[in-house]
Structure 1
């Protein structure tokens, strides 16, 4: 991501209105998302992130329900398990006329349900009088639209903005508008599916008389449109039906997981639903948008890692990521976008500021790891699916990516891939920890560019091995031989240059003078994840990662406690990121340290139990776990976040030792383990090759038993215990 941890970073997300005051409710449908409070309102000051957004712009900055001048009292607020619907139960407080109580508290039920579909927020409001007298209700909706770019909402100041248009008021609708400096017309169409008594530029009101046991139903639609591309909003019920059908269709090819532990099931189901919501259809296939609110757009690194996390249960997502990134691969040298031939995208943005070049992220390539990760994902995708046709289609893109690694990625020809910013306002740090102060030496001084990150060398190593397999498949023998030789040489150089004997871990990075950043950091876990670590170094690194200065009881800190820049409230220097922790756990499992991987799985599970909706956020603070308390939230973390949602599936894969071989086809379990709180786990609808299989896993004292409950097609299952 492109935010940092200090105001020195121009893309820092300002935390002027903490998200931890009250849980937000998030809905998303394709390129439209909404962040509401628990009442279903957009109620906080404009400095908060609440709003209805489309295409990188906030189309609705205020939407508030008032009845008889009061906010109803909240009874309950929840998001449906499949993320399709926000439902809110409320009642009216005691309302007086003078000294007379005219509406007793609890006599009027106020129910709201909200759904997003086709660039539109649909709302159903139901009022029921359970009292013993007729009541008169004045229902108001107050609204406003500021059309701020998402980067403005994040805190970036703009010296000039476009023009708010005079609202167009109709009998049952209000159309708000904005002409941006980019020339684009953006409009918010607010439709009331009845005729309000009063309607003006700031809201509407309607008088309703409810007899005893009477009820009233009102519907409101808010549609976002750009440059006259108005989409008919349809109605609430049609939106519900479409969403339901889409969810059923999207899950038909996804493996389902259920366990003996209902709380664990809640975590799995929430993560799966969040991924369903974040996946957006593009012209090149499905792509997981990185996170709401700040990163609801394609990110190369995030999309690849999310696809790898979920590859074993939903390989079609990986195919969408691969084809999208191949289509957007850089073709020329463009310094202002940090683009070089063959380089894979960092992020793509729409919105006014991107269109005007006020931010560099319209199509931006300032990432050092997305390119080897692209090759790595392609190799793992083939192992999972045996999809030779796609490999033949994208092989030219793999060649370009490999050429970028060797030419532009390796600045000085030493065999390590480094980065340094070329653009004037792009990212300074171009690994996944992209805060300005995230790469430093033991004394706290920042590493001078070009920087060679620990994890990037691991990515390059495994990418070249997997590309060699693909080269064998496609008859590119010269590529195959060269890639294997390069990978072997890289592994040797890496273990010599990055290992820190005195710290029992690998260096965070090498600076421009090839001096190691002698810092205990989570980056070392990636050396295990990719297999580049020598076995003895892997063993010592595993102990370091699980020690109390690194593992805080919930997950692995990005920087260990006691290091110079350690700050548990920072973005990258001591916080805990679920995806980062899951990658380390996968690495531990790869080298046989299953007990340590299970400990990490349990830590993140315990965190999910404490968190609202059992949803793991982008990150949380790195304070040590205390009895009876949940993790400390980070104030502007995205939630949901794709790779945080994907963490559970990667953790399970690592603990089960699950892999695939397309040649047989064969599903393999290598020393599978389950934690003590899971007596059994079932995997159903696991599709492989042309077949499908259902598996039942049962935990025993020292191993896991696996039974095949259903099998269609020629699929082998092997277990090494």
Structure 2
């Protein structure tokens, strides 16, 4: 089952069913590879990257001077292996005879491990005669920084030395403007008949019924000669490491819905793929290809989505971010004491300061989310040893909220970038055109986003809840601050005529009255009154927002609405999940089930792997959702969305301090009559829980139970 991979196309000349050639990704730690369906790299958005530098920019296989005819390709269900099956086109005459098309099976199988690519090219002759196969690889290493690959122009670059070769290896060398020497070594198990700095040519004799394997490796360091033993040992290590990450925490299964189970498995595998085990613990990188690095906001939200099943992610995220908490004011980095990191990079351009993202703090919401996640983690796990360790960081974080985040002194968290190189918008909708007034003009700063005030409310509440355990006398002060934020939001953001909240306040305190999905995040924090939450929910579920594939980021009819935009009318699975979880907080479980069904339907059209976002066009009978062409795939908080939505639908709340799993009015997704949660750890106890549809009701049945844990079903 782990070796199964999805079929993408049936011939080399056909396009993907959605009209776009998809790039397929592999990742291990800080190394990732994206290639087309043949496994080729052509110097576009693809390549083998290590620590934000492209080590292999071109890698194209030809057989008999032509690209093979592709039969199928894809990534294994556990995200470890890429495999492309192809066959030959007619081969040129060799010794007076030529082999017809379709007699050779050419399989490319690869994985990424220990900062290098491992590839096996297996050639099998299924014809009735011996065949001479000319096989060639064209290659290059441009050492481009990830921001160059994304389109950022550089006036100057470092120096690339001419490639060197020694019979079966080619070594590339680049000295960057930062003074670092970066190398890339490409090695073959067999010496090519001809080898240059850009091409390797082989001539393989294939007797009928026989096969030959060629092994290739590429990484930042020189290696021993590739061979079958190295390939097998590293492949086993890669698979074991991935299996370990996938099996962390509790598991979910729907026994009578194999397709639904496949979605759960794919989503869990995608979270595992993107999770890197750092010295501080596991950290889910944001997404491949553009965001394969620790992001503060993305890591926190992904960890929150997975918290009820796997708290280890939250622990790793909190610990990593605490170590990188800002201690000084820097306009270039958008930092101030106590602020939590937005993004970190390790490429040449970041090291030189050509971009500010080496260690960048330009996220206005991350600090609030950091504190709120710490509170949620403490309740979920009872791990107050970690909270004590992080307490100085949490105090510093709320210090930033009070002293630096509240730029205008009005009790609201706002932002205004420190330097022109930074992000102009610093919430999760961080594209330049995502925040605007109803006539389309952009607000002057400082801007106070709606959802950020919800995160701040949750942060102050978390500190008040933790204060008693930590012996801090400021419990009452923090609780009062949370209520002040609630009152400010209800007073200044609510638009009675719209029955909705304004997306932001501008620098003059005027409402940006655009109608956006940001209000769904406010529901997630529990800030709105019950009546206003009901009205917001009704509108989020209306045709203005619901495309039929989830919730749009911007309501139809708004001045900048564009279903093909990044943030102004597209559908982001994590955004829909946050809104659904917020609705559930106010008892709207049926709405969660409805939205979960729509996201599931969208996932089915994307080979069960939800992209970062897709277009917000209306769902039409028999038509698939329309892809956003440069969305990250996989992407961490898109993969984690199903787990947050399932928690919301099932009404699960875990309090490890009391050793209780509370379940409030559970609802199963449409078409799913049973769902099993196994190995759910609560404090020192473990429990399995079965949810089963019985008529109009969902019945909760605790199964295996070990240790001091109880399951309580609320009326």
TM above 0.5, one fold? yes
User: Gapped runs of 5+ residues in structure 1?
Assistant: 1-18
- Looking at structure 2, the residues matched to 688 and 82 of structure 1 have their Cα atoms a distance apart, in angstroms, of 27
The alpha carbon displacement at 1:96 in A equals: 5.0
Give the secondary-structure state (helix, strand or coil) at the position aligned to 1:399: helix
1:490 is matched with: 485
Native 8 Å contact 1:346 1:366 kept in 2: yes
Residue 710 of structure 2 aligns with which residue? 716
**Structure 1 position 95, deviation (Å):** 3.2
Specify which of 190, 199, 204 is matched with residue 203 of structure 1.
Answer: 199
Q: Secondary structure at the match of 2:205?
A: strand
Note if contact 1:221-1:235 (Cα within 8 Å) is conserved in structure 2. no
Q: 2:656 aligns with which of 646, 659, 662?
A: 662
Give the distance between the partners of 2:224 and 2:310, measured in 1 at CA: 31
Residue 58 (structure 2) aligns with: 62
Q: Which of these residues, 238, 246, 250, is aligned with residue 245 of structure 2? A: 250
Give the deviation of 1:231 after TM superposition.
9.9
Shift of 1:322: 0.2
What are the residue-to-residue correspondences of 1:395-434 with 2, within 5 Å?
A: 395-434=391-430
Q: Is the 8 A contact 2:500 2:536 kept in 1?
A: yes
| TM-score, normalised with respect to structure 2 | 0.95
Equivalent pairs, count: 696
Name the structure 1 match of 2:37: 38
Correspondence for 1:502 among 497, 502, 505? 497
Distance of aligned partners of 1:354 and 1:220 in 2 relative to their CA distance in 1, 3 Å threshold: same
Q: Equivalent of 2:547, from 552, 570, 576?
A: 552
Q: CA deviation at 1:424?
A: 3.0
Distance, in Å, in 1 between the alignment partners of 2:363 and 2:242 is 33
Q: Does 2:581 correspond to 1:586?
A: yes
Q: 1:618 aligns with which of 599, 609, 612?
A: 612
Does 2:92 correspond to 1:112? Answer: no
2:690 corresponds to = 696
Paired residues of 2:581 and 2:648 also in contact (CA < 8 A):
yes
SS of the equivalent of 2:511 reads coil
Superposed displacement of residue 253, structure 1: 3.1
Higher relative contact order (CA 8 A, sep 6+): 1
TM-score normalised to the size of structure 1? 0.94
Instruction: Name the residue aligned to 2:161.
Output: 165
Partner Cα distance (1:21, 1:599) in 2: 29
2:174 aligned with 1:216: no
Partner of 1:23: 22
1:121 to 117, 122, 125: 117
Equivalent-residue separation in structure 2 for 1:536 and 1:105 (angstroms): 69
Q: Which moved more, 1:554-563 or 1:251-260?
A: 251-260
Q: CA deviation at 1:128?
A: 0.8
1:84 is aligned to 80
User: How much does 1:695 deviate?
Assistant: 1.7
Is it true that 1:532 corresponds to 2:531 in the alignment? no
> d(CA) in 1 for partners of 2:688 and 2:164?
57
- The separation in 2 between residues aligned to 1:240 and 1:687, in whole angstroms, is 31
Q: What's 1:574 paired with?
A: 569
* Correspondence for 1:562: 557
Offset at residue 627 of structure 1 (A): 1.2
1:677: which partner in 2? Answer: 671
Distance 1:68 1:455 in 2: 58
| Alpha-carbon distance in structure 1 between the residues aligned to 2:538 and 2:430 | 26
Shift in Å at residue 74 of structure 1? 0.4
Distance 2:164 2:250 in 1: 49
Residue 310 (structure 2) pairs with residue 314 (structure 1) = yes
Structure-1 residue corresponding to 2:7: none
Please give the alpha-carbon distance, in whole angstroms, between the structure 2 residues aligned to 1:252 and 1:526. Answer: 29
Distance, in Å, in 2 between the alignment partners of 1:428 and 1:696 is 47
Residue deviations 1:214-267, cap 9 Å, x none?
111110001124xx9x89988211111111221232244321111122221121
Q: CA RMSD in A?
A: 1.7
How far did residue 328 of structure 1 move?
Answer: 0.3
Q: What is the CA–CA distance in structure 1 between the aligned matches of 2:166 and 2:190, rounded to whole Å?
A: 12
Report the secondary structure of 1:337's partner residue: coil
Counterparts in 2 of 1:138 and 1:615: CA distance versus 1, 3 Å: same
Contact 1:253 1:687 (8 Å CA) reproduced = no
